[in-house]
């Protein structure tokens, strides 16, 4: 019988949203295969989280709870996951969200088992004797269909933003078993030093209208016009990572792969080029308006309307007219 295992990623003391999206895909697959979902969780002081995870319909959690896993070390994680997966014979499916962690650990693990992977797929379903997944190519301009025999080892990462997050069901429960960490001398070639993570206090995901600013805004003071426009129009402030990196606006406002996914009625992107990492966070907004001096900016590939002009001329004028 097939084993279906989800690697449960934890960040800031919580199961990540992208893991919950992955669990939604896993749930459908588990029903089609007629098997239970199992999970593996690595970290330190994670017993409550592990118990909590069973309420997502995971029947058995392998918990690796060890002080050496307080900070993420990819070599430690790979080795320990390898030992766990070695216990199972094919067919086995090992899935994770295609977060930055998932995209690092799953290919490395797949290579260790000499198995190919469904890398960054939006879906994974059973079709006869095959698993079939869709992988976007050319920054989503084309879709590739990938197919593999379901009876072998299959490693999978599920792209974020394509599936709803699995919901907790208090009536569900499952077993939590300890799995001992395995670390070899060679794995000590990687040492965790520190992690800097921004605090989040504002939630922009509920806003109906977002005015987002990017590097094109040109400075911290100049970012004032984005705030002013958002205030006048009754919207929230969004930002590209470049604007957040430059410290013009706090991380709470970041949109994209490493920020928030938003689907407001209106998204107005000002001085944002539209890198794919940004687009994945806002391309499902209902009406997208770009304000950019460059007509070639990739943002125009997803925008419905664009004004080709300096944002510092456009926004004050827009405020006046509304």
Q: Does 71 bind other proteins (CB under 8 A)?
A: yes
As measured in angstroms, the least distance from the Cβ of 260 to ligand FAD is: 8
Region of residue 177 (left: phi > 0; alpha: psi -120 to 50; beta: else):
beta
Q: Does 205 bind other proteins (CB under 8 A)?
A: no
Residue ranges binding ligand FAD (CB under 6 A): 100, 214-216, 240-243, 254-259, 271-273, 275, 277-278, 281, 291-294, 297, 310-312
273 interacts with, out of other proteins, ligand FAD, none, CB within 5 to 8 A per kind: ligand FAD
Q: Does 258 bind other proteins (CB under 8 A)?
A: yes
Tokens 């199992």: give the residue: 38
Site for other proteins in 37-66 (CB under 8 A): none
As measured in angstroms, the least distance from the Cβ of 130 to other proteins is: 9
Q: Does 75 bind other proteins (CB under 8 A)?
A: yes
Q: Does 222 bind other proteins (CB under 8 A)?
A: no
Which residue's CB is nearer to ligand FAD, number 72 or number 291? Answer: 291
Which residue's CB is nearer to other proteins, number 36 or number 187? Answer: 187
As measured in angstroms, the least distance from the Cβ of 314 to other proteins is: 6
Site for other proteins in 136-195 (CB under 8 A): 136-149, 152, 154, 186, 189-195
CB 114 within 8 A of CB 138: no
- The DSSP result for 295-318, as a single string, is TT-THHHH-SEEEES-HHHHHHHH
CB 26 within 8 A of CB 37: yes
CB 71 within 8 A of CB 133: no
Report the alpha-carbon distance of residue 283 to residue 279 in Å, rounded: 5
Q: Is the peptide bond before 116 cis (omega within 30 degrees of 0)?
A: no
Which residue's CB is nearer to other proteins, number 51 or number 306? Answer: 306
As measured in angstroms, the least distance from the Cβ of 207 to other proteins is: 9
Q: Does 117 bind other proteins (CB under 8 A)?
A: yes
As measured in angstroms, the least distance from the Cβ of 259 to ligand FAD is: 4
154 interacts with, out of other proteins, ligand FAD, none, CB within 5 to 8 A per kind: other proteins
User: Which one, of 131, 157, 132, 128, lies nearest residue 143 by Cα?
Assistant: 132
Which residue's CB is nearer to ligand FAD, number 139 or number 310? Answer: 310
Q: Does 212 bind other proteins (CB under 8 A)?
A: no
Report the alpha-carbon distance of residue 174 to residue 154 in Å, rounded: 24
Sign of CA dihedral 214, 219, 220, 226: negative
User: Which one, of 215, 214, 216, 200, lies nearest residue 260 by Cα?
Assistant: 200
CB 156 within 8 A of CB 95: yes
As measured in angstroms, the least distance from the Cβ of 170 to other proteins is: 28
């Amino acid at each position: 019988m097939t084993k279906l295992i989800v690697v449960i990623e934890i960040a800031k003391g919580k199961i990540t949203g992208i893991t919950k999206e992955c669990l939604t895909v896993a749930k459908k697959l588990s029903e089609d295969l007629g098997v239970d979902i199992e999970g593996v969780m690595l970290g330190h002081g994670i017993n409550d989280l592990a118990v909590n995870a069973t309420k997502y319909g995971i029947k058995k959690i392998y918990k690796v709870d060890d002080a050496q896993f307080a900070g993420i070390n990819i070599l430690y994680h790979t080795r320990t996951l390898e030992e766990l997966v070695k216990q199972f014979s094919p067919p086995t499916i090992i899935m994770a969200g295609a977060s930055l962690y998932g995209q690092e650990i799953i290919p490395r693990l797949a290579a260790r088992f000499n198995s190919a992977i469904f890398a960054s797929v939006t879906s994974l379903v059973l079709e006869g004797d095959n698993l079939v997944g869709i992988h976007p190519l050319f920054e989503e301009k084309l879709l590739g269909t990938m197919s593999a025999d379901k009876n072998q080892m299959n490693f999978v990462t599920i792209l974020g933003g394509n599936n709803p997050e699995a919901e907790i069901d208090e009536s569900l429960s499952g077993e939590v078993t300890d799995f001992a960490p395995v670390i070899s001398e060679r794995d000590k070639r990687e040492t965790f030093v520190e992690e800097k993570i921004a605090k989040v206090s504002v939630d922009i995901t509920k806003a109906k209208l977002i005015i987002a600013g990017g590097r094109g805004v040109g400075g911290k003071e100049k970012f004032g016009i984005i705030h002013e426009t958002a205030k006048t129009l009754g919207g929230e402030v969004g930002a590209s990572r470049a604007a957040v990196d430059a410290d013009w606006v706090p991380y709470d406002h970041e949109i994209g792969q490493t920020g928030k996914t938003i689907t407001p009625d209106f998204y107005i992107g000002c001085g944002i080029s539209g890198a794919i990492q940004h687009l994945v966070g806002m391309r499902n907004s209902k009406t997208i308006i770009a304000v950019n001096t460059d007509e070639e900016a990739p943002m125009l590939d997803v925008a419905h309307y664009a004004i080709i002009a300096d944002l510092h001329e456009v926004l004050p004028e827009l405020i006046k007219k509304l």
